[in-house]
């Protein structure tokens, strides 16, 4: 169907929301993005964009074949926590290189591309209510201002306020895992930079370089049950971080020693949404399929969603059939990737004999392990 003149409202100015807005605007729609934050501050830290996400960024003309702000990855090295001993080295995906981005850099690229395309981006706009009409959807903002659109895309994150209009109330489940996030200045550039996954009992640390290797990104996951406050940017104590990973040796110990500011993120799990759309509104990204960060696919899934959503309007003559096709195309893949991420959460934290056996197996099959996930990395929704 032709989108010329149709009015779309995207709620959420994150990676998925901006990508969807750009893809729809490029097809002739009139798109407005609403973001509750008053400013697009430099939040978050590193993101891994594997080939299945990079193909969308290229198709949207956001990045080139050799992205300027992305740090190319040459694979992953697996290490033991005690002294940093190398267990195995995993090559990059066969489908193409992964790139490491600072979240703020990728958001800035998408933001500029959306504005250049004509997307209207409004900050400090918090949706208070959603009303459905026969041929339109009405958003009511906290200011009391109403606004009607032909279609609303809810890309407002894992704690989406709009998801409940399609799926009712849901109670998230605490995974008993806490993620520490930090970045530190870095000067030890490598010719072929890699991510490092350092695994220990009930804990693991992921590190990889950002911004031409001038920063090192740190994500440290630990299992604990003494804190269950949901949120992804709570201030943490760097000394507490070091104490909780005090038995980690090798390079990780040196990296953690330089952390001056850290944030905590309690990992809660919501199921993949049962219902993604109703013919006038659709969920996208974490609002549809919040996932644990153990496959590094949150941003990539949102990018895939954005492209498939827009493409479905090319292939169908009515709004309702296009959104139904989007849901049918995306739901099975999202469920499979979310399940794979949950399985990795267990595999990274093995203890005792199971950990030793797993390390022996990884030392043998590690160089071939990436093939196991080519169904993720090699999937090109733009093809």
59/24 Cα distance (integer angstroms): 13
209/197 Cα distance (integer angstroms): 13
DSSP category for residue 220? E
Q: Smallest Cα–Cα separation from 92: which of 208, 211, 203?
A: 208
Catalytic residue, chosen from 99, 100, 208, 377, is 208
The CA angle 297-207-379, to the nearest 5 degrees, is: 25
379/95 Cα distance (integer angstroms): 8
Burial of 46-82, coded b for 16+ CB within 10 Å and e otherwise, reads: bbbbbbbbbbbbebbebbeeebebbbebbbbbbbbbe
Residue 101 is a catalytic residue: no
342/338 Cα distance (integer angstroms): 6
Length of the chain (residues): 383
The Cα-based distances of 230 to 239, 266, 341 in angstroms read 22, 6, 19
Alpha helices in the chain (DSSP H): 15-25, 51-59, 103-117, 164-167, 238-244, 251-257, 298-315, 319-347, 352-365, 374-377
- Helices H / strands E in the chain, number of each: 10, 19
Evaluate the CA torsion angle 138, 140, 141, 146 in order and state its sign. positive
φ/ψ (deg, to 5) at 311:
-65, -35
- CB of 104 within 8 A of CB of 43? yes
Active site residues: 208
């Amino acid at each position: 169907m032709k989108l010329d003149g149709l009015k779309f409202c995207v709620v959420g100015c994150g990676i998925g929301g901006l990508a969807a807005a750009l893809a729809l605007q490029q097809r002739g729609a009139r798109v407005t993005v609403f973001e509750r934050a008053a400013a697009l501050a430099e939040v978050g830290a590193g993101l891994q964009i594997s080939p299945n996400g990079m193909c969308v960024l290229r198709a949207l003309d956001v990045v080139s074949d050799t992205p300027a702000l992305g740090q190319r990855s040459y694979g992953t090295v697996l290490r033991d926590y005690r002294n940093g001993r190398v267990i195995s080295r995993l090559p990059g995906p066969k489908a193409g290189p992964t790139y490491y981005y600072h979240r703020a850099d990728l958001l800035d690229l998408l933001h500029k591309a959306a504005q250049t395309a004509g997307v209207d981006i409004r900050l400090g706009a918090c949706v208070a209510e959603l009303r459905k009409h026969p041929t339109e959807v009405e958003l009511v903002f906290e200011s009391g201002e109403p606004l009607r659109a032909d279609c609303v895309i809810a890309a407002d994150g894992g704690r989406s306020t709009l998801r409940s209009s399609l799926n009712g109330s849901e109670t998230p489940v605490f995974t008993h895992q806490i993620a520490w996030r930090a970045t530190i200045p870095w000067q030890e550039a490598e010719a072929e930079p890699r991510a490092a996954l350092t695994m220990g009992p009930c804990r693991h640390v992921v590190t990889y370089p950002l911004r031409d290797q001038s920063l090192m990104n740190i994500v440290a996951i630990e299992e604990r049950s003494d804190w269950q406050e949901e949120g992804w940017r709570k201030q943490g104590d760097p000394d507490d971080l070091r104490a909780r990973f005090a038995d980690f040796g090798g390079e990780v110990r040196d990296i953690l020693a330089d952390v001056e500011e850290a944030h905590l993120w309690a990992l809660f799990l919501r199921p993949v949404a049962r219902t993604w759309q109703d013919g006038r509104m659709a969920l996208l990204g974490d609002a549809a399929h919040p996932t644990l960060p153990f496959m590094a696919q949150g941003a990539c899934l949102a990018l895939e969603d954005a492209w498939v959503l827009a493409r479905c309007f090319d292939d169908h003559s009515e709004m309702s059939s296009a959104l139904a096709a989007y849901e049918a195309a995306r739901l099975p893949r999202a469920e499979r990737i979310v399940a794979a991420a949950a399985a990795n959460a267990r595999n990274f934290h093995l203890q005792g004999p199971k950990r030793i056996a797993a390390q022996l197996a990884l030392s043998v099959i590690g160089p071939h392990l990436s093939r196991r996930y080519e169904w993720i990395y090699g999937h090109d929704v733009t093809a």
